[in-house]
Structure 1
Amino acid sequence: MEGSSDVHSGTHEIGIIRAATGDYDPKKQQFAEEVLKKDWASFYDLIASSDAPFLHSTDGRRPLSLKELKEFITSDQVEVLGLGREDRLCTAIPNGPEAAVCFFAFALRCTFAPLNIGLSRDEFDFEFTDLPAKALVVQAKDGLSEDDQKNTGNAVSVARKCKVEKLLELTPSKEVAGLFQLGKHAAGKPLKGDALGNPLASVKRDNLALVLHTSGTTKKPKIVPLTHANIASGAMCIASTVELKPEHICLNTMPLFHIHGLIVNVLASAVAGSQVICLPGVFQVQNFHAALVRQPEPNWYSAVPTMHLQILQFAEEVAKEKGKPPENKLQLIRNCSAALVPTVAAAMEEVLKVSVMPTYAMTESMPIASNPRFGKRKLRSVGMKAGPNMGIMNGHPDSSFLKVGEEGEVVVKGGPVTSGYEYREHMDANPNIEAFSEGWLRTGDKGWLDADGYLYLSGRFKEIINRAGEKISPFEVEDAMRSNDALKDCIAFAVPHKSLGEVVGIAAVLKDGKSLTIKELRSWCNKCDKLQAKWIPEMLVTMPSIPKGPTGKPARINLAKKLDLQPLEGVPKDLDHPGISG
Structure 2
Amino acid sequence: MPISRSPQTIYEIIEMRAEKYPDKPALAFPGGKIIHSLDLWRASLTVAEVLRTAGVREGDRAALVMSRGLDDVIVNLGASSFATAVPLNPESGTKEFEYFFEAFGVKILITDIKDSEAVKAARRRKLPVIIKSDWICGRKPVYAAAKFNKKINDIAFVLPTSGTTARPKLVPLSHGNVYFGAMNIKKALRLSSDDRCLSVMPLFHVHGLMVMISTLFAGGFFMYTPKFDRDDFFQWLDEFDPTWYTASAALQQYIVGRADKYKKIVKKQELRLIRSSSAPLPKETTEKLERIFGAPVAESYGMTEAALQITSQPLPPAKRKFGSVGKPAGVKIKIVNEQGKAVPVGSIGEIIITGKNVIKAYGENPEANRKSFSRGWLKTGDLGFMDKDGFVFVRGRIKEMINKGGEKISPREIDEAMLRYPDIEQAVAFSVPHSELGEDIAAAVVIKQGKIFDEKKIRRFLTGELAAFKIPSRIIEADELPKTGAGKLKRVGLYEEFKYRPGFIGPQSLKKTRNLPNNMNTSKNNNEAILIDIWREVLGTEKIEPDDNFFELGGDSLKVGEFLRSALKKGLKVGPADLYNQPTIAGLAKILIRKSKKGI
Pairwise same-fold verdict (TM > 0.5): yes
Q: Please list, as runs of the form range in 1=range in 2, the aligned pairs for 1:430-579 lying within 5 A after superposition.
A: 430-526=367-463, 529-564=464-499, 565-567=506-508, 571-573=550-552
In 2, Cα distance between equivalents of 1:216 and 1:311 = 25
Shift of 1:419: 1.7
Partner of 2:309: 367
Structure 2: where are the runs of 5+ without partners?
A: 500-505, 511-538, 540-549, 555-600
Q: Which amino acid aligns with 1:239?
A: K
In 2, Cα distance between equivalents of 1:112 and 1:326 = 40
Question: 2:49–2:146: 8 Å Cα contact kept in structure 1?
Answer: no
Q: Which one has the bigger helix percentage?
A: 2
Shift of 1:515: 3.7
Q: Please list, as runs of the form range in 1=range in 2, the aligned pairs for 1:225-374 lying within 5 A after superposition.
A: 225-264=172-211, 266-279=212-225, 281-294=226-239, 296-319=240-263, 325=266, 327-365=268-306, 366-374=308-316
Question: 2:312–2:325: 8 Å Cα contact kept in structure 1?
Answer: yes
In 2, Cα distance between equivalents of 1:171 and 1:405 = 56
Partner of 2:90: 117
Equivalent in 412, 417, 420 of residue 353 of structure 2: 412
Normalized against structure 2, the TM-score is what?
0.78
In 2, Cα distance between equivalents of 1:260 and 1:451 = 29
The SS at the match of 2:367 is coil
Equivalent in 69, 77, 83 of residue 40 of structure 2: 69
Q: 1:172 to 1:252 in 2, by over 3 A?
A: farther
1:81-123 CA deviation, whole Å, 9 max, x = no partner?
3212221101111112211111111111111001112211222
Question: 2:386–2:392: 8 Å Cα contact kept in structure 1?
Answer: yes
Q: Please list, as runs of the form range in 1=range in 2, the aligned pairs for 1:417-428 lying within 5 A after superposition.
A: 417-423=358-364
Q: 1:88 to 1:77 in 2, by over 3 A?
A: closer
The SS at the match of 2:32 is coil
Partner of 2:133: 171
Question: 2:483–2:490: 8 Å Cα contact kept in structure 1?
Answer: yes
Shift of 1:512: 4.0
Partner of 2:101: 128
Q: Which amino acid aligns with 1:208?
A: I
Partner of 1:143: none
The SS at the match of 1:379 is coil
Normalized against structure 1, the TM-score is what?
0.80
Question: 1:95–1:282: 8 Å Cα contact kept in structure 2?
Answer: yes
Q: Please list, as runs of the form range in 1=range in 2, the aligned pairs for 1:75-86 lying within 5 A after superposition.
A: 77-81=49-53, 82-86=55-59
- Bigger relative contact order (CA 8 A; separation at least 6): 1
Q: Which amino acid aligns with 2:381?
A: G
Q: 1:208 to 1:511 in 2, by over 3 A?
A: same
Q: Which amino acid aligns with 1:344?
A: T
Shift of 1:215: 2.3
Shift of 1:566: 4.4
In 1, Cα distance between equivalents of 2:140 and 2:335 = 47
The SS at the match of 2:52 is coil
Q: Which amino acid aligns with 1:254?
A: M
Are residues 1:392 and 2:335 paired? yes
The SS at the match of 2:231 is helix
Q: Which amino acid aligns with 1:123?
A: E
Q: 1:182 to 1:383 in 2, by over 3 A?
A: farther
The SS at the match of 2:490 is coil
In 2, Cα distance between equivalents of 1:499 and 1:249 = 55
Partner of 1:99: 72
Q: Which amino acid aligns with 1:43?
A: I
Q: 1:182 to 1:506 in 2, by over 3 A?
A: farther
Equivalent in 310, 316, 319 of residue 376 of structure 1: 319
Equivalent in 160, 171, 182 of residue 213 of structure 1: 160
In 2, Cα distance between equivalents of 1:161 and 1:446 = 42
Q: Which amino acid aligns with 2:120?
A: S
Q: Which amino acid aligns with 1:246?
A: S
Question: 1:74–1:105: 8 Å Cα contact kept in structure 2?
Answer: yes
Shift of 1:180: 5.3
Q: 1:568 to 1:407 in 2, by over 3 A?
A: farther
Shift of 1:355: 1.3
The SS at the match of 1:338 is coil
Question: 1:212–1:224: 8 Å Cα contact kept in structure 2?
Answer: yes
Partner of 1:24: none
Give % identity. 31
Shift of 1:501: 2.4
Question: 1:360–1:370: 8 Å Cα contact kept in structure 2?
Answer: yes
Question: 1:78–1:105: 8 Å Cα contact kept in structure 2?
Answer: no
In 2, Cα distance between equivalents of 1:224 and 1:196 = 32
Report how many residues are paired. Answer: 496
1:522-575 CA deviation, whole Å, 9 max, x = no partner?
22222xx22122222221122211111111111101211332334277532399
In 1, Cα distance between equivalents of 2:289 and 2:397 = 25
Q: Which amino acid aligns with 1:278?
A: Y
- Range 499-508 or range 244-253, more displaced: 499-508
Shift of 1:162: 1.1
Q: 1:127 to 1:98 in 2, by over 3 A?
A: same
1:333-385 CA deviation, whole Å, 9 max, x = no partner?
10111111010110111122221111100111121001112222222000110
Q: Which amino acid aligns with 2:551?
A: P
In 1, Cα distance between equivalents of 2:227 and 2:285 = 23
In 1, Cα distance between equivalents of 2:154 and 2:207 = 21
The SS at the match of 1:117 is coil
In 1, Cα distance between equivalents of 2:305 and 2:277 = 14
Shift of 1:43: 3.4
The SS at the match of 1:225 is strand
Q: Which amino acid aligns with 1:394?
A: N
1:218-238 CA deviation, whole Å, 9 max, x = no partner?
111111111101111101110
Partner of 2:579: none
In 1, Cα distance between equivalents of 2:449 and 2:44 = 49
Partner of 2:11: 44
The SS at the match of 2:56 is coil
